[in-house]
Amino acid sequence: MKNENKSPKDTDLAKVRELITQAYGLMNSDPNKCITISKEALEISDKYQFGVGQGMAYLHIGLGYFHQSDYFHALKNYLKAEPFFKIENYWYGLRAVYNNIGLVYRHWDDLEKALHYFQKNLELRPVYDNPKSSTTILNNIGGVYQQLKDYNKALEYYQESLQLSTEINFPYMISVAQDNIGRVFMLLNEKTKAEKLIVQAIEIKESINDFAGLSNAYQNLAMLKADEDKNEEALTLLKKALDYSERVNEWKRIAYIYQQFAYVYARMGNTEQEKKYLDKCIAVSEPRNYRVILIEVYSSLASFFERKSRYKKALEYYKLIEKHKDLLSDEKKNRAIQEIKIRMEVERTEHEKKILQQKNNELEKMNAQILEQKTKLELVDKELKELNQNLEKKVMEETEKRRMQEQIVIQKSKLESLGQMAAGIAHEINQPIGLIKLATQNLFHKFSNKNITKEYLAEKSAFIDENITRINKIIEHIRLFSRDQKEETIQKLDVVEIMNNALSLVHKQFKNHNIRIVEEMEPDLPQTVGNKYRLEQVILNLLSNARDALDEKYDELDDTKEIILRAYSKKKKMYIEVEDNGCGIDSVNLERAFDPFYTTKEETKGTGLGLSICYGIIQEMNGAISMESDKGKFTIMRIELPAYSGKK
pLDDT tens digit sequence for 543-583: 988 988 898 889 877 888 999 999 999 988 999 999 999 99
Say how many C-beta atoms besides its own lie within 10 A of residue 78's C-beta: 28
The predicted pLDDT at position 382 comes to 76
Answering whether pTM is above 0.85, one says no
User: What SS3 class is residue 225?
Assistant: helix
The predicted pLDDT at position 408 comes to 63
Sign of the CA dihedral running 372, 373, 378, 380: negative
Residues of the chain with confidence (pLDDT) below 70: 1-5, 328-364, 366-371, 373-377, 380, 399, 402-428, 431, 470, 473-474, 476-489, 595-609, 645-648
- Say if residues 237 and 227 touch (Cβ distance below 8 Å): no
The predicted pLDDT at position 445 comes to 72
Backbone angles phi, psi at 6, to 5 degrees: -75, 140
Calculate the alpha carbon distances from 309 to 263, 306, 313 in Å: 20, 5, 9
- Dihedral, 442, 445, 451, 454 alpha carbons, nearest 10: 40
CA dist 349 and 496 (Å) reads 43
H or E segment and range at residue 339: helix 311-372
Q: Single out the residue of 492, 483, 502 nearest to residue 410, CA to CA.
A: 483
CA dist 563 and 581 (Å) reads 7
Radius of gyration of the chain (CA): 33
The predicted pLDDT at position 517 comes to 92
H or E segment and range at residue 207: helix 191-207
The predicted pLDDT at position 608 comes to 43
The predicted pLDDT at position 457 comes to 79
Q: Which amino acid is at 605?
A: K
CA dist 335 and 218 (Å) reads 31
Say how many C-beta atoms besides its own lie within 10 A of residue 60's C-beta: 28
Backbone angles phi, psi at 195, to 5 degrees: -65, -40
